[in-house]
Chain A
């Protein structure tokens, strides 16, 4: 708390001055962020309530274990750590932009605003990749009809339940369609192709499946996808609008609007919003990836 010496007994509430010692716009930005915190809080608490009411959930280390260009390697939480560090780093460049603004250094503000925007775009790109990976990646699940099927992660599909044990998988393979069995072979045998497997009988296909390499899971609670895509999407929308606001601020800086105005307070307000986005990510990260 480096608040400079305030004369003792300053009568903040006697009128003639802001009782908050801050401009109207900045106080209102704080109130907006407070209300937004309750919106995000309500989403996350709703998610937590639902999760508390269920006997099983998904294991984040299992769901989020992929990294671009690393194929099928098991790298739990690596990609989301990268996203977290990108957001923390862009928060730092934002606070440095605010700092340069206090010094009325236009070049410095421009430099750090550009870095902040790059950080925001990098985060959005990461999120786009993560969503695509979840939406397109199919995983083997034991369906209600007793057969094995392939399921991707959407707002209504969740292939991330607990693994089915070997005996049950062996039983389920008997009633599984040849198409899915072929996919199960190709999952671990990368030399196999659709053409080479086409003429094989069901029993031959089953004999080629290595159950230590192919995992079949129970269907998980469908609410996982709805909450994950809903909340990270709402956060991603905030990042997107933050990037847009920062872009406008960069343009206004370049045009010299803040130099004419004599202060860079707009950068501070945009900064408050941007830090809030980082703040929300701390809790999204906690609720979806860590616990």
Chain B
């Protein structure tokens, strides 16, 4: 069945392996290029750190978000081409990719949690109402009510 004799009931449609190595090298160049772009953005961020990070808050967030997207692109190419998931049939692709959608909730819920924790810390919103002792929050510059 399969050209290499892999158990016949398992593989109904042989995978096509005739293609050359051109695509592999193309993806290698692409991954290297994306990594270089990420590094360039990383150096850009370095310049902001000891200056006035607060004044570039939005710009830094945009750059970091862009680096996340670039990393997801790298992940896509590694999984799709190097791991050959793109060459598999739809059933196999879906049984791997659909459970990974849990990560959307996983990341959103926990980052939300971390952020709420930060707010409680910085605004004292988490202290008990009956408490008479006044805590002075550590950093409260622009977060005063």
A residues at B contact (CB < 8 Å): 1-4, 6, 10, 12, 16-24, 27, 30, 34, 37-38, 41-42, 45-46, 48-55, 59-62, 76-77, 81, 84-85, 88-89, 91-92, 94-96, 98-99, 102-104, 162-163, 262-265, 268, 271-272, 275-276, 278-279, 282-283, 285-286, 289-291
Contacts and interface: CB of A to CB of B under 8 A. Distances in A.
A237 to B, nearest CB: 20
Given A2-B19, A88-B28, A52 B114 contact: yes
Nearest to A60: B42
> Which of under 10, 10 to 19, 20 to 34, or 35 or more describes the interface residues of B?
35 or more
Most buried by A among B17, B25, B64: B17
Contacts of B13: 3-4, 6, 10, 21
Interface in B26-70: 28, 31-32, 35, 38-39, 41-43, 45-46, 49-50, 64, 67-68
Interface in B49-98: 49-50, 64, 67-68, 71, 74-75, 78-79, 81-89, 91-92, 95-96
B118 A1 contact: no
B61 to A, nearest CB: 10
Q: Is the interface of B mostly helix, strand, loop or mixed?
A: helix
A77 B100 contact: no
Contacts of B118: 52-55
Given A48-B114, A49-B113, A282 B17 contact: no
A174 B110 CA distance: 45
Given A2-B19, A41-B103, A279 B110 contact: no
